[in-house]
Amino acid sequence: MEHLAEVKNLKKYYPAKKKLFKERQYVKAVDDVSFYIDKGETFGVVGESGCGKSTLCKTMIRLTEPTGGSVFFNGRDIASLSPEEMRLMRRHIQIIFQDPYASLNPRMTVRELIKAPLDIFSDASEEEKMEEVFSAMELVGLNREFMNKYPHEFSGGQRQRIMIARALILRPEFVCCDEPVSALDVSVRAQVLNLMKDLQEKLSLTYLFISHDLSVVRYLCDRIAVMYLGRIVEIAEKDELYDNTYHPYTRCLISSIPIPDPEVKRHAMILEGDVPSPYNPPAGCHFHTRCPYATKECSERYPELREVAPGHSVACHFAEKIREGRA
């Protein structure tokens, strides 16, 4: 299959306040991350809050400039594009944010909000643009009679539909979805997720889907990467990741998914302690301060991401032993 996007050794470091006589420290929000996304695929990125998944999303589409590495989109390195070239590229790459209320201008009507990208990119007449707006509203299940209403007059689910209509009105190829359903009521989440699935099929979209919710990611994604403190620790196809989990961190995350059946008992692996400070991540494997299998070697040497099965890579020195229960 053809790769639509390819991320190579992407880094995003934020400088911390410099202390007197001390070297400047950096928060390594995204540290040497590589992966690819195929055309028509939904690629999921999961991890706890603060693991760098939203920064990865924003850095990948250059909403924030990368510190290093490259991002290829349809074979072109977007990190090297001029501002004008990047502006034109934005037609093909859109984003849906987590909180639709915060990302919709409260002074604009639905019509103005959805039409805004066309006003920037299209030379079509006002009438033609309105036809596009109506068809985008229809696509996401919004009645065209709502066009003169304001965001505060809608429910959370409807506001997210407005966001989706705005993201899709330019008919992009690639959509970054940054926790698009986590601010919604549970009852509305499934509707929005099903809508996104339908739209993907209809419009041949490719998604990067960021979430902290493994059950949501399992429902929507084809392949999944698990992030911890700015790095990918495991990456595999959805079923492979859930059925043959290698990394202890992924095991903990999966074991904490609630099972909606009182008869089924699952032994959750409880993670000890908090996520370490990203200013000063632990040496060696960043997970060693919380890992039940950690040894001296883990605190001395960072485990590189390596393939343990076709298409399945893990960053753990003892992945095979842990998987087979020998650790």
What is the nearest approach in angstroms of ligand SF4 to the Cβ of residue 281?
12
Token match 């994604």: residue?
221
- Closest contact distance (angstroms) between CB of 322 and ligand SF4 is 6
Please provide residue 94's backbone torsions phi and psi, each rounded to the nearest 5 degrees.
-125, 170
Q: Measured from the CB atom, is 44 or 284 closer to ligand SF4?
A: 284
Q: Is the separation of the CB atoms in 8 and 72 below 8 Å? A: yes
Residue 26 or 293 with smaller CB distance to ligand SF4: 293
Q: How far is CA 206 from CA 121, 293, 311, in A?
A: 21, 37, 19
The region of 73-81, 87-95, 238-246, 293-301 touching ligand SF4 under the rule CB under 6 A is 293-301
Q: What is the DSSP letter of 326?
A: -
Residue 177 found at the interface with ligand SF4 (CB under 6 A): no
Q: Which stretch binds ligand SF4 (CB under 6 A): 117-125, 217-225, 250-258, 284-292?
A: 284-292
317 vs 22, 220, 247, 305, 307, CA distance in Å? 33, 30, 10, 10, 12
Which range touches ligand SF4 (CB under 6 A), out of 81-89, 120-128, 271-279, 288-296?
Answer: 288-296
Shorter beta-carbon distance to ligand SF4: residue 142 or 294:
294
Question: Which residue from 33, 271, 285, 305 is in contact with ligand SF4, where contact means CB under 6 A?
Answer: 285
Q: How far is the CB of 69 from ligand SF4 (least distance, A)?
A: 23
Q: How far apart are CA 93 and CA 115, in angstroms?
A: 17
Rounded to a whole number of angstroms, the minimum distance from the CB of residue 324 to ligand SF4 is 13
Chain center to CA of 204: 19
The closest of 200, 155, 154 to 177, measured between CA atoms, is 200
Binders of ligand SF4 in range 243-282 (CB under 6 A)? 247-248
Count of residues near ligand SF4 by CB under 6 A: 13
* 183-202 binders of ligand SF4 (CB under 6 A): none
Instruction: Name the segment binding ligand SF4 (CB under 6 A); options: 62-70, 158-166, 181-189, 291-299.
Output: 291-299
Rounded to the nearest 10 degrees, the angle between the axes of helix 186-203 and helix 156-168 is: 20
User: CA 165 to CA 142: how far, in whole Å?
Assistant: 9
Q: Of 205 and 252, which CB lies nearer to ligand SF4 in the complex structure?
A: 252
* Candidate ranges 40-48, 87-95, 145-153, 290-298; the one touching ligand SF4 (CB under 6 A): 290-298
Q: 192-222: string of b/e by CB count within 10 Å (b at 16+)?
A: bbebbeebbeeeebbbbbbbbebebbbbbbb
| Among 291, 305, 312, 323, interactor with ligand SF4 by CB under 6 A | 291
Q: Which is nearer to ligand SF4, 79 or 291 (CB)?
A: 291
Q: What separation, in Å, do the N-terminal and C-terminal C-alpha atoms of the chain show?
A: 37
By the rule CB under 6 A, 207 interacts with ligand SF4? no
| Torsion sign (Cα): 270, 278, 316, 235 | positive
Structure tokens at 79: 């990190």
Binding site for ligand SF4 (CB under 6 A): 247-248, 285, 287-288, 291, 293-294, 298, 303, 316-318
